[in-house]
Structure 1
Amino acid sequence: MAVSDQIVRWRYRLVPDHLLGEILTKRWVDNAIPVLILIVVAAVFGWLIPDFFSAAGISSLMRQWGEFTLIALALMIVMVAGGIDLSVGSTFALGNIVALTLITVAGWPVPAVIGATLACGALVGLVNGVLVGYLRLRAFLTTLVTLIIVRAIVDMMLLKYSVAIAAGFVDSDLWYYFGEGDVLGVPFSVATALVLALVAHLVLSRSRVGWHVLAVGGSRRSAHNVGIPVRRVICLTYVVSGTLAALSGVLFASRLGGAGADTGVGLEIAALTAAVLGGNSLGGGRGSAAKAIIGAIIVMIMVNGLVRIGVTRGGSSLLLGMVLLAAVAIDVRWLKNRHKFLSKVYVSPTYSELPEAPATSGSSPYALNDRLRPVEAIGLGQIDGPEDVILDEDDHIYVGNRTGDIVRFFAPDYTRQEVFVHVGGRPLGMAFAKDGALLVCIGGMGLYSIGRDRSIRKLTDETNRSWLSVIDDSRLRLADDLDIAPDGRVFFSEATVRYEMHEWPVDCLESRGNGRIICYDPNTGTTRTVIKNLLFPNGICMMHDGQSFLFAETWACRVSRYWFDGPKKGTVEVVIGDLPGYPDNINRASDGTYWLALVGVRTPSLDLALKMPGFRRRMARRIAPDEWLYPNINTGCVVRFDETGRIIETLWDFGGENHPMITSMREHKGHLYIGGILNNRVGRLKLDGMDPTWSGIDSYWRRT
């Protein structure tokens, strides 16, 4: 290897380029920037004001934060549903004046005061909800008008009751506890805000109501089309918003015991800044209570810090407005360009060097021929994409279909067919268990078992997660092929942990080693990963020793052997390391050898590009995906080899006229049955010199 190639290889091995794309796909990334802003803001004001985070300062700040957080939560709930509520500041002031009037002037008991005040806030929210949700008025203008009307009501109540409120005295420990008490050392307002934030989180993430709110915020038309009561959901969010704002006003009234004309003025701007700065989207469909909490902390630190360093109220409002403008700009740009940016950074090719491709001419064991030309077609035009093919003890053929069906062709002439079972996902590799159940790898779903009575049972759809992996590799994305050990353990390949079923060619562009082999043990019901970092592992076939299996790595163009039992347990040995094409499924032959499908042949251009990760990265960023350099998968081949890797025979469809793309083959009673994920038929080829009574089921389970 040249020095330059070695440098490139180590650069891409040591620098994990794919981590950036993986991190940006995580939902918690939306919280990362707000948390970073919080750290910066806290550090700046902690440095400017030496005693800013003293015990007394934090205690005073926390009580204000609890009340303010309720306002941020109120606005967050409306924003998640795709709306906005500019009346929260006025509703807060209304809650404050109503609570003080009822408890000092009217002399109502504390529970009645709280209930009536919350009802007033809910009424304001209901008015907003009816106007915006049911009458479909613009949320911005509607809540702006509500702000003005409610503020006018507050001013009228101040003119009438402010003197009486100032002269009154509340003789209730419970009332003062709301504003000055604590729960296990935590101010009551903070405890209330945290409890309600937890409730909001659980509702949004764990309940049907929460899912409806998120769906409405994501797309109201789509939510309506699936039967969600969009108008009622929108109305409900405004009612909750008004109630939370009024509750915050009650806590404020209990703490200060006074009302003024400036109470709640500008609070909606501060709350909106907190909600957006925390990462809640103005476009709806994206938000959480945690984001509202983070944003509320940032804004409270900024406001109190500016006051303590002597910035006037106008200057503080100016800074908040600038912060809000920046947050809105970031939110809009990020929401608009997130997927575009991800498409440029997610695909992260690495250095991959294949051994020199063997010749396919002359005396080479891979020499081209037309031995697949006599293949007869079964079910021509009646199936779509039979990736794998298998036969039962009655000689019936089973194949997967692109539409999510497993189709059965009846022996002996295979002219009659039926949908054996509908599995929903994309059926890939199949194998018969000892009890006659058909085990199937289903792309995007996992490993399933289909009983003789056609009952469908999920065996597993997840495995153990890697402790140090940024990728959530516990979920199975692309379970591909499988085989069953003598003790019943199922070993199956997952081709890639980064890409879904329809994106599998992109994994070749990366050639990073995103695949693995997994073991499902039916005796314990456990699933675990046994081999990682494989280049698109595909076919799996148990060897006759009962202690090892063969597996193919498609993008590495090699076949290896893994011992899962015996003296060499846990070791991997390369059996064929320089195939001329891309290996797929592997199955047993009647003479003790093995059949291997080559899904396509290697090309010098792609082999060269695999050693140029920079070139592939630029290609992924600058060229449309349908113009990327992909493997050649339109020339099919079947290879037979022994356990040492010696090639015994090769069967080509030269020119790709009969079976241009082969992903699997299965020997059964003197014939070879051929499948292909891009074909519309099952091929059958009569084999000369092979046992006409042999079947795979007999080979595995020794039936007589």
Structure 2
Amino acid sequence: MPKDAFALTGMSWRHRFSFQRSLAELLGKRWMEAMVPCLLLVSVLTYFGVTADGFLTLDNASTLSQNFAELGLVALGMTIVLIGGGIDLSVGAVFGVVNGFALIAFRLLDWPVPLVVAAAIALGALLGSVNGVLIAYAKTRPFITTLVTLLAYRTVAEYIDTMYSPRMATTTRIDPIWDMLGAGRLAGLTTQFVLLVVVALVVHVLLSRSRWGWRITAIGSSRTSARRAGMNLPAITFSTYAVAGALAGAAGLLTASRLEQSSASTGLGMEFAVLTAVVIGGVSLAGGRGTAMRALIGALTVAAISQGLTLQAQPRPLYSAVLAVILLVFAAADLKWGKNRGKAIQKIYMAPGRFRLRASPDIYQQGGVWELNDRLTGAQAIGLGELDGPEDVVLDERGRLYCGDRRGWLWRFDGPDSPAELVARVGGHPLGLVIDKDGNIAMCVAGMGLYGITPEGQVTPLATDVKRTWYRINDDSAIRLADDLDVAADGKIYFSDASTRFDGDEYFLDLIESRPNGRLLRYDPDTGQTTVVLRNYAFPNGICVSHDGASVLINSSNLYRIDRFHLAGPKAGQLEPFAENLPGIPDNINRASDGGYWVAFAGMRTPVWDLAISMPKFRRRMVKELPFDEWLVPNLNTSCVIKITEAGQVVESLWDGQQKDHAVITSMREHDGYLYLGGLTNDRLGRIALPQHEIPARAGSERVVSAP
């Protein structure tokens, strides 16, 4: 069970949760798009259940399921066309034509039912293909084209009604398969509903799991990008209209078998009802967005409205008026939401917290441990002109230096005066480095997780995700901002995931939000498992296993403190302060050869930022109303390294008074009498010689002894 570090923030329990942040995370979920249609459906069912006599009966449920199935099949076809960036206004007319044709083939021509079924679906596909040819290959406009074919197909439906309805009215035929289609049941459910479920599952799989579906979505999202990607736009567009016609034909067939009659008005206005259904279900009229399941939610809503108004004996024009209002509202909402959803989420996604900080120590006091000096000024440059942002540096037993840079590369230097050697291209943004028990390099990569690299350059992902927290709205299984790490005596790797809400290039947003979004993770190389050790920690940055191996030291960049988490002994599992109220932003921490620890300050605290941290409303308004380059942010351009004892006492500080070569120092590593410096925005590594009195005789590569 991970330990909760929320109490370190000093915030009360009611600040643990934020309605604003929860709302932003909910709005960012794809399934939230189905919430409004679901609420509308529940409201419609509740309203008619209360006001319409017989609405909640089994007989009505059976009738509703049949109407829903027929409308749903057409809605699925319309969904496919809309996702592909088109529109089909002829589906109602295709429905009517196939309905009449099926009755002619069954009653007058005495075709076998399987042949009638196949011919009806084929006819629907043929009528849809006419639209597809004109739109995909003749390059006509979908709206105008399908409006014309609607009129043409409606004329055919009227011709069928005029020429064949009188003969069909005097002809009867009984067939068990036909009756099964129209009035049968499977497992207690109407045949039409079962068929709809099967077709819906197939369409869902095709749209979400097949190349055909992915290409339809790509074309609807951006035809230009899809064309440049080499997709066959005419063929894919043609197929959407053919499938839509086939589904409309299947719906017309089911209606023919159920009602056993046809007229010129069959399917009249269906295109309007279907459009309303898919728009209610969140299918975008602009293309590129929609799902089969949400389209069915809209179809069920429209079918329920129709059935409810019928039971209330309301005039048919009222049904059209209701659909018109719903279509208008949801179409406008779809356009508005599509344009402004991202902006709305962005404005409320950051929910600043309020940390309680003590006054910062005075670093300008003369003669104190914080007195400014130039001990880092003039540090020997390593890799000048070859590196770009080496955040951390580590040395192996042979004294070779390794560092990453923000291009995603891992570099090696055989010595401080040697040229750089490219070891591996990892990707992401390499941050913390350590040599593991096997002599390989373990690396924290922002945006990717924990990776292992052999000296020969073979890259292996070690930990990219953990078990998701069940009660979190956002999926926190991905390791988004792996920052720093260290290896314990048993070979397990402890590393920080600084934020579960922001990626590596957005780390400053987490600093501004100032909430405990981070966690401490542990990777076990023997099992390959990664577990959460601490959660709700405020921007855990540097990680260092203590000299005796019995605890892990954790730097909190947001709280300006270092904490100790006990791994062994009587305090195992406990978290306690190690060094509090530091005047700077602690970044990496590493062991010193004299039994103490080196800590890098990426920046220094300022009175203005300390005040801003206590004013969440100010920071929220700043993010909303000011452009990015005018935000107030923590100071991140002051170079400083401090040494701290095992008891947590700061004993010295090292500064670069000129701030020319090492404007930002994010890490340091002691090795054989030298201190090596890394910086997130620097173009080099640095090296300074340590005074002899600071280097015990045992100095060399830092090691951890086994915990007692």
Number of residue pairs matched? 696
- d(CA) in 1 for partners of 2:633, 2:390: 22
| TM-superposed deviation, 1:567 | 2.3
Check conservation: 1:355, 1:577, Cα contact below 8 A: no
Residue deviations 1:153-198 (CA, integer Å, cap 9, x gap)? 2222333322333233233211111111122111111111112212
Check conservation: 1:669, 1:693, Cα contact below 8 A: no
1:627 corresponds to: 630
Letter in 2 for 1:612: M
| TM-superposed deviation, 1:338 | 0.8
2:393 corresponds to: 389
2:290 corresponds to: 287
Q: Which of residues 469, 492, 497 in structure 2 aligns to 1:489?
A: 492
| TM-superposed deviation, 1:607 | 0.5
- d(CA) in 1 for partners of 2:549, 2:485: 15
1:380 corresponds to: 384
- Which segments of structure 1 move beyond 3 Å, counting only runs of 4 or more? 6-16, 690-698
1:686 is aligned to 2:689: yes
1:206 corresponds to: 209
Check conservation: 1:117, 1:246, Cα contact below 8 A: yes
- d(CA) in 1 for partners of 2:491, 2:260: 73
- d(CA) in 2 for partners of 1:553, 1:184: 60
- d(CA) in 1 for partners of 2:173, 2:656: 94
| TM-superposed deviation, 1:12 | 4.0
Q: Pick closer, same or farther for the CA change 1:423–1:130 going to 2, 3 Å.
A: farther
Q: Pick closer, same or farther for the CA change 1:145–1:694 going to 2, 3 Å.
A: farther
1:603 is aligned to 2:606: yes
Letter in 1 for 2:378: P
Check conservation: 1:359, 1:367, Cα contact below 8 A: no
- d(CA) in 2 for partners of 1:697, 1:172: 89
Residue deviations 1:507-559 (CA, integer Å, cap 9, x gap)? 11111111111112222222221111111111101112222111111111111
2:5 corresponds to: none
1:3 corresponds to: none
Check conservation: 1:635, 1:655, Cα contact below 8 A: no
| TM-superposed deviation, 1:218 | 1.6
| TM-superposed deviation, 1:698 | 5.6
1:145 is aligned to 2:148: yes
1:446 corresponds to: 449
Letter in 1 for 2:292: A
1:462 is aligned to 2:465: yes
- d(CA) in 2 for partners of 1:169, 1:538: 81
Secondary structure, aligned partner of 1:72: helix
Residue deviations 1:288-339 (CA, integer Å, cap 9, x gap)? 1121111111111111112222221112111111110111000000111111
| TM-superposed deviation, 1:352 | 1.2
- d(CA) in 2 for partners of 1:32, 1:56: 28
- Which 10-residue stretch deviates more, 547-556 or 98-107? 98-107
- d(CA) in 1 for partners of 2:287, 2:99: 29
| TM-superposed deviation, 1:696 | 7.1
Secondary structure, aligned partner of 1:17: helix
Secondary structure, aligned partner of 2:30: coil
- d(CA) in 1 for partners of 2:533, 2:287: 42
- Which 10-residue stretch deviates more, 295-304 or 163-172? 163-172
Secondary structure, aligned partner of 1:527: strand
| TM-superposed deviation, 1:694 | 6.8
2:360 corresponds to: 357
Q: Pick closer, same or farther for the CA change 1:412–1:514 going to 2, 3 Å.
A: closer
Q: Pick closer, same or farther for the CA change 1:94–1:630 going to 2, 3 Å.
A: same
2:410 corresponds to: 406
Q: Which of residues 46, 50, 54 in structure 2 aligns to 1:51?
A: 54
1:587 corresponds to: 590
Check conservation: 2:431, 2:444, Cα contact below 8 A: yes
Check conservation: 1:482, 1:493, Cα contact below 8 A: yes
- d(CA) in 1 for partners of 2:560, 2:11: 21
- d(CA) in 1 for partners of 2:329, 2:79: 18
Residue deviations 1:434-480 (CA, integer Å, cap 9, x gap)? 11221111111111111233222111211111122112111111111
Letter in 2 for 1:316: Y
- Which 10-residue stretch deviates more, 323-332 or 425-434? 425-434
Q: Pick closer, same or farther for the CA change 1:231–1:504 going to 2, 3 Å.
A: farther
TM-score (ref. length: structure 1): 0.95
| TM-superposed deviation, 1:697 | 5.2
Provide the identity percentage: 44
1:124 corresponds to: 127
Check conservation: 1:434, 1:701, Cα contact below 8 A: no
1:337 corresponds to: 340
- d(CA) in 1 for partners of 2:167, 2:487: 84
1:643 corresponds to: 646
| TM-superposed deviation, 1:359 | 1.2
1:73-472 equivalence runs, <5 A: 73-361=76-364, 362-411=366-415, 413-414=417-418, 416-472=419-475
- d(CA) in 1 for partners of 2:506, 2:700: 32
Check conservation: 2:423, 2:456, Cα contact below 8 A: no
Check conservation: 1:377, 1:682, Cα contact below 8 A: yes
- d(CA) in 1 for partners of 2:559, 2:52: 60
- d(CA) in 2 for partners of 1:692, 1:139: 81
Letter in 1 for 2:379: V
Residue deviations 1:396-426 (CA, integer Å, cap 9, x gap)? 2222122211122232512x12221111211
Letter in 2 for 1:606: W
| TM-superposed deviation, 1:282 | 1.2
Check conservation: 2:673, 2:700, Cα contact below 8 A: no
- d(CA) in 2 for partners of 1:431, 1:319: 66
1:535 corresponds to: 538
Secondary structure, aligned partner of 1:349: coil
| TM-superposed deviation, 1:83 | 1.6
Q: Pick closer, same or farther for the CA change 1:579–1:77 going to 2, 3 Å.
A: same
- d(CA) in 1 for partners of 2:320, 2:416: 84
Check conservation: 2:136, 2:237, Cα contact below 8 A: yes
Q: Pick closer, same or farther for the CA change 1:560–1:70 going to 2, 3 Å.
A: same
